[in-house]
Amino acid sequence: MTNETTKSNASGDAPKDLAVDISDERLVRHEGLGGAVRGFFQRVRGGDLGSLPVVIGLILIWGVFQVMNPNFMSSNNLVDLTMQSAATGTIAIGVVLVLLIAQIDLSIGSVSGLASAILAVGMIQLGWPIWVAVLVALAAAVAIGFLYGILYTRFGVPTFVITLAGLLAVLGLQLKVLGPNGSINLPYDSWIIQLGTTMFLPPWAAYAVAIIAVLAMFFSDWFRSRRRVNAGLTGDPLTVMFIKSGLLLVLLLVAVWYLATSRGLGVMFVLFVAFVVIMNFFLTRTRWGRAVYAVGGNVEAARRAGIKVNRIVISVLMLGTMFAAIGGLFATARLTAATLSSGGGDTNLVAIAAAVIGGTSLFGGRGSAYSALLGILVIQSISNGLSLLNFDSSVRYMITGAVLLLAVIIDALSRRSRATHGQA
């Protein structure tokens, strides 16, 4: 009897009660809640760590700083942390995209500085409405990304070199735009400055955003499961979906409630997270996203599959500079001024480090938009915590460097583990 079942499976006629995707008898199946948990541990052992190291790292960092300075986890400081993360985190979204196609953009800092300069000069010296200044800044950044894309696809110069040249050239452009003053203050009553300083969601709106986000995730999972069952495939168990959504709901509600005891949830941070979610959607659910991963994984295979590789590369480089510009505008809004040093200093490297710490591979094809969020939270937590402990930036840089190294080592180890478990 057992023999017969095996035979019918092997010959490809799946028994009626099994969905087609699990009818292969060699496939180890995990059913229900326990199965989901076992499957998770199996993936981790196999080197498919996902976001686990970053999340654990973040919890450890928060724990250590909380022990050393009880103010760290105060709601006021956490609100600061979210607002500090938004600008560079937005730049890091662009870095994630560029890294996914196995390229790099070193000029993101300069581009963010240029956006900041254009905003300030447009608003103050030329008297443009704010939204015009914002659009011009974004258009300039997108044009720079387009130029990079053309240079890369036409001449085949590595983006490393193109954007290194861009770093200098765009920095020059930023200084030119700013003019001899070198620093322009923006009025506090403009909405763009309020966005970075005083614009917080009222508690009811923050709760609503949290609940809508969780409902959206639950229904997205549920509908996908329904579609899979209708297509004759296995769906996800409902209990797992409920527990996943429930945990997220509790987490978000507690976070919103805790932040609301101080100033609350900053609109700028909400925008940053929204950008992350939107890019994650484009990367995982659309043709374009699939092409981005394919180009990063095996560019020759992508080309032969008929993907217009040049268009993908150009579009990603344009998005990279666009997010750099948005990040630059956020930074300007937070600092209430555009200066010569806007986007300078460590902006470049912090944004790239955030993407890598968050789990995006430097070698292309692996990573997710969420790595920008997780990575920037890690870096800003370290930076924020060390400032609370009155360490100066020398120590901060060294520790951030060590964390980056650790992240790359974890990436390398998990890649080796994937290779030995046949998941490379």
Partner 1 sequence: MTLEAPLAPQAPLPKEPVLTLRGISKNFGAVQALTAIDMDIYAGEVVAIVGDNGAGKSTLVKILAGVHGADAGTITFNGRRVSIPTPAASRALGLATVFQDLALCDNLDVVSNLFLGREVGGFTLQEEEMEKHSWTLLRQLSAKIPSVRTAVASLSGGQRQTVAIARSLIGDPQVVILDEPTAALGVAQTAEVLNLIENLRERGLGVVLISHNMADVQAVADRVVVLRLGRNNGDFRIPDVSYEEIISAITGATDNAVTRRASAHGSHEGRDS
Please report whether residue 396 would count as binding partner 1 according to CB under 8 A.
no
Please report whether residue 43 would count as binding partner 1 according to CB under 8 A.
no
| Residues in contact with partner 1, shown as a per-residue x/- string from 80 to 99 under the rule CB under 8 A | --------------------
Binder among 4, 17, 189, 300 for partner 1 (CB under 8 A) = 300
359: left (phi over 0), alpha (psi -120 to 50) or beta: left
Taking Cα atoms as reference points, which of 120, 133, 167 lies closest to residue 344? 167
Please report whether residue 244 would count as binding partner 1 according to CB under 8 A.
no
For partner 1, the closer of residues 328 and 359 by Cβ is 359
Q: Interface with partner 1 by CB under 8 A: which range of 147-155, 172-180, 206-214, 415-423?
A: 415-423
Binder among 132, 233, 402, 405 for partner 1 (CB under 8 A) = 233
Length of the chain: 424
Residue 294 and residue 346: Cα distance in Å, rounded? Answer: 31
| Residues in contact with partner 1, shown as a per-residue x/- string from 13 to 32 under the rule CB under 8 A | -------xx--x-xx-----
Residues from 365 through 394 that contact partner 1 (CB under 8 A): 365-366
Residue 361 and residue 356: Cα distance in Å, rounded? Answer: 6
Inter-CA distances, 344 with 13, 149, 211, 407, Å: 63, 23, 38, 24
Residue 214 and residue 29: Cα distance in Å, rounded? Answer: 28
Q: Rg for the chain (alpha carbons), in Å?
A: 24
Please report whether residue 307 would count as binding partner 1 according to CB under 8 A.
yes
Binder among 51, 69, 190, 298 for partner 1 (CB under 8 A) = 298
Residue 184 and residue 72: Cα distance in Å, rounded? Answer: 33
In the three-class reduction of DSSP (H, G, I as helix; E, B as strand; rest coil), residue 389 is classed as coil
Binder among 290, 349, 388, 408 for partner 1 (CB under 8 A) = 290
Residue 174 and residue 113: Cα distance in Å, rounded? Answer: 6
Residue 228 and residue 216: Cα distance in Å, rounded? Answer: 18
Q: Interface with partner 1 by CB under 8 A: which range of 175-183, 259-267, 288-296, 310-318?
A: 288-296
Please report whether residue 7 would count as binding partner 1 according to CB under 8 A.
no
Please report whether residue 228 would count as binding partner 1 according to CB under 8 A.
yes
Q: Which residues here bind partner 1, judged by CB under 8 A?
A: 12, 20-21, 24, 26-27, 224, 227-228, 230-233, 285-287, 290-291, 293-294, 296-298, 300-307, 365-366, 418, 421-424
